[in-house]
Every structure is written in C-alpha cells, then in structure tokens.
C-alpha cells in the first residue's frame, strides 16, 4: 500500500507540472480537469527504460524548462499581453528585477530572485525523484515489453492530439486528453526559429528607405520648433474603459478649450503601438524609425542598421535635436544611434526633490525645466520628451501645482512621501486601477497646461501614448494609443488629408494607423511636393 501511495504521489507531481496553465485567464482549478497525454508516456517510459542513459535527468530538465516557460508566459501575459520569447525577452529579467527593487526594495527583490532559483532547483529535485520512483518499478521482461508498446501507443496519441490542434491535420473531434505542454514547447521552438528568420528579413527591410539619401526634407517646417511628448501608459483605455473615460475625456475636453484659447489648432488620431504594458522604447523606436520594432531583437537590429530615424532626418534638415529622458538612470549608449545631439537622462536634470518610487521626478518638473536645460541655439528645435509619472507602480501621485512654484523640485517632497507603498497598493487590483486613473490624469493635465503656456512660441507639438497599460489595468488587449498634433493653424492644416479629428478627443471610429507609418507620413506632410517629387524620381 505504501508503495502505491508513493507511486500515486509521484504521478501527481508530474500531473501538476503538465497541467500548469501559462495564462492568467486559465489559472483556475478547472485546469485540473485536463488529462495530460504526456503523463502515461513519461510513466511508461520510466518503467520501460528505468534510469538508463540518464533519461530521468534529461526529462526532469525538460519539465523544469517547460514550467519556467509557463511561468514566464504568465508574467508576460500579465505585463505585456503576449508570450515569452527566450531569444528576445531574456534581457527583461534584469529590467524586471530592477523595477521590482524600486517597488519593494532591493533586499526583497534579491530575495525574490534567490527564491525563484531555489524553487526551480527544488522543483527539479522533486521531479527527478518522482521519475526515479516510477523508474524503480520492478517488472518482468515481458511486462516491460508491454510498457514499451504503451509508450509507442501513448506517444502516437499525443502526436495525434498535437497535430490536430496545431493544424497539421484535422479529426472530426479532438482526441481525448491533451498534449498541450508538448504543443507549447514545440510552438516555442518554432517561434524561436521564426524569430531568427524574422531578424534576417528585418535587417534587409531596414536597408530599404526612400528617404535615405533625400534632400530638403521637412522644408515646410523651416524655423518651426517641434516637440514630441510621450505620455507613459496612455492608451485607448482612457477613452473606452468606463473606469477612466469620464476623468480623462473630461480633462482632455477642458484642455482643448485652453489650447484653442492659446491660438493653437489641434487634430487627434489613433496609432497601433507595437507593445503593451511596458517596453516603451519599442514604441519610441517604431515611431521615429518607421520600422516595426515590436521586440528587442528588432529594436537592436534597427539601431545597428544605420536606418535614419525622424531625428536623423530633422538634424539633416537643420534642426537641433535633443531627448529629455527622466526615466534613464543608467548608461544609454544606443542613444548615439538615434539621431539625438543632446541627451538629458535623470542625472542631468537638476531635480532636488525626492523620487516617487520608480519615478525619478514628476512630469511637471520635467516640463517646467527642459527648455532651460537644453540652452539657446539659433536652430529650431526637434526634441523628444518621455514623461514618466504615469509609469507603474502609479504611487504616489503628485499634485498639479502652480508652475511658478516648481523651483528645484523640493516642493514635491511631501507628496513623494505619501502612502500607500507599491507593495500595499498592488495587493488590491481595484486600487491599482484607481491609481492608474489618477496618474494618467495628472500627466494629461500638466502636459496640456504646459502646451497652452507655449502659445507665444507657437511650436508644433506631438503628444502620443507609448502603449496601453497591462491588460488587467487597461481592461482589454487593444494596443491602440491616441496621438495629438497641436500647433499654429496653418501648420496643422498640413495634415488635413490624414482625416484626423479636430480637438483632443479622436473619433472612436477613426481608422487606426500602425505606429511605424508615422515617420513617413510626417515627412510627406511637412515636405513640399517639389522635394518629394525629387525623392520619388
């Protein structure tokens, strides 16, 4: 009886590993209702082969790897609404540890990492012991032969199920049971192969650029300052989700009136971001390069390709280019390949106040000080500002204060000390959504107040969301983000053919353009037909 209990327990461990879901939506007790076809294959293989040729060691490693992939998928679906790609996403582990350290403290973050490693090690040992239990089953030679036949039969059953669900063949009904863990591993292998091929094709596409050797681009903007402002985690949820729309649309409506009063015209549309939940640099790279940098592999390939970004084009057109990046707290060598003459990371922005957890400084401080920091230049400006107050963990949230009181930033210290802590906030998803609502609204308020204050200098301002928030916050997997063009009426009239909506609230039925189309559309809109004709010849 004791031996049967041990065998059942060992089989139960393997069962739990095989049925473990990889998506938040399927992480339910109902997952236990699935029968993994791989289970009899593994158990019968252990009976037939025993511990020969290191098979248990290999199988344990495979099962731990599959478990890691499932857990990584779970985290990626939660944060970015997509699966984990080992080739492209390994670097996110380091970034995630850094964000975790800023949220709960470095000691706890390091303990979490150590705990994860210990968990996977412990899991490997448990799986190996479970395999050894079944490998130790003593049977006669003829019965072991039956086990071999069982392995072949169940293996065929698993292949039939996998092929059916992967579309290699179709049965009238799905075979009983599921080999979905095997399908997951197989699909991930195919994805990695496709990723490698995709990067090769991407490099070829990056070399094709109709504007690569063109002259006189952006000549319709000669002498016109251009400011590109990214609002972190500002997506379509601000318009579609009833948790946020009343607040954010109301703020935008008020801002529209203030901006019109400052003499600006405004048009708004929709762009599809290449990312969701995070990895803002993918959106930045896509918009400025005109290439779909939907993952870190493509992003790095874009940087290495020599493909001209919008900032390279602007620099050649006689603009002074700069990037104000309060989220950059470490070395950023790739900025030298993006067309920026001047880069101001957090360390070069003279904020003397306390940080807001991960957020180094409030958006209002960034907007109040950047023009003094980049200094005077006889050339017109073409600059990028990446705001960060609306970046997770969305706590604490500063108040909007008088612009004359911003000073060196120490006025924000009391606000930076407010609770709750990120660790406390993130225990309650409703509280997280409420904090997100307030954080985005703060960023919208200070951004458009700042733009209204620029009325006398009359720049062309592009305000765009980089991506939607994580799915559980946004309430959908939609990747649309709003984009607003604000400037003198004669300048804004140059994009009339885009069909965008007047004001700051884009029509929900307006066609959505992919973010990689913006670069070429922008160049075409602000370059005279004569110069464009030379490009096309």
pLDDT tens string 225-241: 999 999 999 999 999 99
Highest mean pLDDT among 19-28, 288-297, 433-442: 433-442
Distance between CA 183 and CA 19 in Å, rounded?
Answer: 12
Distance between CA 300 and CA 334 in Å, rounded?
Answer: 9
CB 333 within 8 A of CB 393: no
Residue with token string 């998506």: 23
Q: Is the pLDDT of residue 536 over 60?
A: no
CB 461 within 8 A of CB 487: yes
Q: How far is CA 281 from CA 273, 312, 328, 378, 517, in A?
A: 11, 17, 11, 30, 17
pLDDT above 70 covers a percentage of the chain that reads: 94
CB 260 within 8 A of CB 488: no
Per-residue confidence (pLDDT) for residue 90, from 0 to 100: 65
CATH architecture of 210-333+362-400+428-536: 3-Layer(aba) Sandwich (3.40)
How does DSSP assign 83-115, residue by residue? ---HHHHHHHHHHHHHHHHHHH-HHHHHHHHHH
Taking residues 71-84, report their average pLDDT.
Answer: 76
Q: What is the dihedral of CA 449, 453, 454, 458, to 10 degrees?
A: 100
- Nearest to 400, CA basis, from 447, 434, 437, 354: 447
Assign 531 a pLDDT band (cuts: 50, 70, 90): low
Q: Is the pLDDT of residue 283 over 60?
A: yes
pLDDT above 90 covers a percentage of the chain that reads: 47
Structure tokens at 457: 């200098």
Per-residue confidence (pLDDT) for residue 515, from 0 to 100: 96
Per-residue confidence (pLDDT) for residue 79, from 0 to 100: 67
Taking residues 428-441, report their average pLDDT.
Answer: 94
- Nearest to 346, CA basis, from 370, 376, 377: 370
Mean pLDDT across the chain = 87
Residue with token string 């920091």: 373
Query: What is the DSSP secondary structure assignment for residue 167, as one 8-state letter?
Result: T
pLDDT tens string 118-128: 888 999 999 99
Q: Is the pLDDT of residue 198 over 90?
A: no
Query: What is the DSSP secondary structure assignment for residue 390, as one 8-state letter?
Result: T
Per-residue confidence (pLDDT) for residue 501, from 0 to 100: 96
Per-residue confidence (pLDDT) for residue 93, from 0 to 100: 65
Per-residue confidence (pLDDT) for residue 534, from 0 to 100: 62
Taking residues 263-286, report their average pLDDT.
Answer: 93
Taking residues 405-412, report their average pLDDT.
Answer: 95
C-alpha angle with apex 94: 434 to 61, nearest 5 degrees?
Answer: 110
Higher pLDDT, 91 or 142: 142
Taking residues 65-77, report their average pLDDT.
Answer: 84
Highest mean pLDDT among 51-55, 274-278, 362-366, 374-378: 362-366
Assign 88 a pLDDT band (cuts: 50, 70, 90): low
pLDDT tens string 326-383: 998 877 777 777 889 999 999 999 999 999 988 999 999 999 999 999 988 899 999 9
Residue 25, judged by CB atoms within 10 A of its CB (0-12, 13-18, 19+), counts as exposed
Q: Give me the residue spans of the domains in the chain.
A: 2-196, 210-333+362-400+428-536
CB 228 within 8 A of CB 325: no
Assign 432 a pLDDT band (cuts: 50, 70, 90): very high
Taking residues 436-451, report their average pLDDT.
Answer: 97
Q: Is the pLDDT of residue 322 over 90?
A: yes
Distance between CA 302 and CA 206 in Å, rounded?
Answer: 7
CB 460 within 8 A of CB 516: no
Q: Is the pLDDT of residue 528 over 80?
A: yes
Residue with token string 């210990």: 118
β partners of residue 269? 483
Higher pLDDT, 380 or 158: 380
Per-residue confidence (pLDDT) for residue 45, from 0 to 100: 85
Does the pTM surpass 0.85? The reply is: no
193: left (phi over 0), alpha (psi -120 to 50) or beta: alpha
Distance between CA 166 and CA 292 in Å, rounded?
Answer: 27
Q: How many CB atoms lie within 10 A of CB 453?
A: 14
Q: How many CB atoms lie within 10 A of CB 143?
A: 12
Structure tokens at 311: 């900032």
Distance between CA 279 and CA 195 in Å, rounded?
Answer: 18
Structure tokens at 234: 């500002």
Q: How far apart are the first and last CA of the chain?
A: 85
Per-residue confidence (pLDDT) for residue 384, from 0 to 100: 97
Q: Is the pLDDT of residue 105 over 70?
A: no
pLDDT tens string 452-496: 999 888 899 999 999 999 888 999 889 999 999 999 999 999 999
- Nearest to 461, CA basis, from 147, 227, 128: 227
265-272/501-502 β-pairing = antiparallel
Q: Is the pLDDT of residue 249 over 90?
A: yes
How does DSSP assign 260-281, residue by residue? HHTT-EEEEEEEE-S-BSS-HH
Assign 74 a pLDDT band (cuts: 50, 70, 90): confident
Q: What is the 3-state secondary structure (H, E, C) of 192-245?
A: HHHHHHHHHHHHHHHCCCCCCCCCCCCHHHCCCCEEEEEECCCCCHHHHCCCCH
Per-residue confidence (pLDDT) for residue 48, from 0 to 100: 84
Structure tokens at 473: 């916050």
Distance between CA 416 and CA 353 in Å, rounded?
Answer: 8
173: left (phi over 0), alpha (psi -120 to 50) or beta: beta
pLDDT tens string 387-399: 999 998 999 999 9
β partners of residue 95? none
Highest mean pLDDT among 79-83, 86-90, 276-280, 284-288: 284-288
CB 527 within 8 A of CB 219: yes
Per-residue confidence (pLDDT) for residue 514, from 0 to 100: 96
């Amino acid at each position: 009886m004791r031996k049967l209990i041990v065998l059942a327990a060992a089989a139960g461990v393997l069962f739990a590993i095989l049925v473990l879901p990889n998506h938040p939506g399927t992480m339910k007790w109902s997952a236990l209702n699935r029968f993994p076809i791989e289970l009899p294959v593994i158990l019968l293989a252990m009976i037939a082969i025993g511990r020969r040729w290191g098979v248990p060691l290999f199988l344990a490693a495979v099962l731990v790897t599959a478990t890691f992939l499932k857990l990584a998928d779970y985290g990626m679906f939660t944060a970015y609404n997509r699966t984990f790609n080992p080739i492209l996403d390994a670097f996110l582990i380091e970034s995630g540890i850094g964000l975790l350290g800023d949220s709960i403290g470095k000691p706890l973050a390091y303990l979490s990492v150590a705990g994860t490693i210990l968990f996977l090690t412990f899991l490997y040992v448990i799986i190996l012991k479970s395999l050894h239990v079944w490998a130790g089953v003593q049977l006669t030679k003829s019965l072991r032969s039956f086990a071999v036949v069982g392995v072949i039969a169940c293996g065929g059953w698993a292949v039939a199920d996998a092929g059916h669900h992967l579309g290699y063949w179709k049965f009238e009904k799905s075979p009983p049971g599921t080999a979905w863990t095997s399908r997951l591993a197989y699909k991930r292998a195919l994805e990695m192969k496709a990723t490698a091929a995709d990067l090769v094709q991407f490099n070829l596409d990056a070399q094709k650029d109709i504007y690569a050797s063109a002259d006189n681009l952006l000549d319709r903007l000669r002498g016109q300052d251009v400011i590109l402002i990214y609002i972190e985690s500002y997506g379509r949820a601000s318009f579609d989700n009833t948790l946020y729309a009343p607040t954010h649309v109301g703020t935008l409506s008020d801002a529209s009136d203030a901006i019109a009063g400052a003499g600006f015209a405004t048009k708004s549309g929709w762009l599809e971001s290449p990312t969701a939940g995070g990895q803002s640099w993918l959106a930045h790279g896509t918009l400025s390069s005109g290439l779909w940098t939907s993952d870190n592999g493509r992003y790095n390939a874009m940087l290495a390709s020599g493909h001209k970004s919008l900032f390279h084009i602007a620099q050649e057109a006689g603009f002074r280019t700069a990037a104000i990046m309060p989220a950059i707290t470490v070395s950023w060598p790739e900025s030298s390949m993006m067309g920026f003459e001047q880069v101001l990371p957090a360390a070069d922005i003279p904020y003397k106040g306390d940080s807001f957890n991960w957020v180094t400084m409030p958006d209002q401080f960034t907007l109040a000080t950047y023009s003094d920091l980049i200094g005077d230049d006889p050339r017109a400006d073409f600059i990028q500002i990446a705001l960060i107050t609306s970046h997770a963990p969305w706590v604490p949230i500063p108040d909007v204060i008088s612009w004359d009181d911003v000073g060196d930033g120490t006025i924000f210290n009391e606000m930076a000390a407010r609770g709750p802590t990120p660790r406390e906030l993130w225990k309650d998803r409703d509280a997280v959504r409420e904090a997100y609502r307030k954080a985005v609204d703060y960023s919208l308020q200070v951004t458009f107040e700042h733009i209204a204050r620029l009325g006398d200098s009359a720049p062309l301002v592009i305000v765009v969301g980089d991506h939607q928030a994580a799915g559980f916050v946004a309430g959908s997997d939609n990747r649309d983000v709003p984009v607003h063009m604000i400037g003198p009426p004669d300048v804004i009239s140059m994009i009339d053919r885009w069909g965008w909506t007047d004001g700051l609230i884009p029509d929900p039925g307006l066609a959505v353009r992919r973010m990689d189309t913006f670069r070429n559309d922008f160049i075409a809109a602000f370059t005279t037909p004569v110069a464009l004709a030379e490009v096309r010849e």
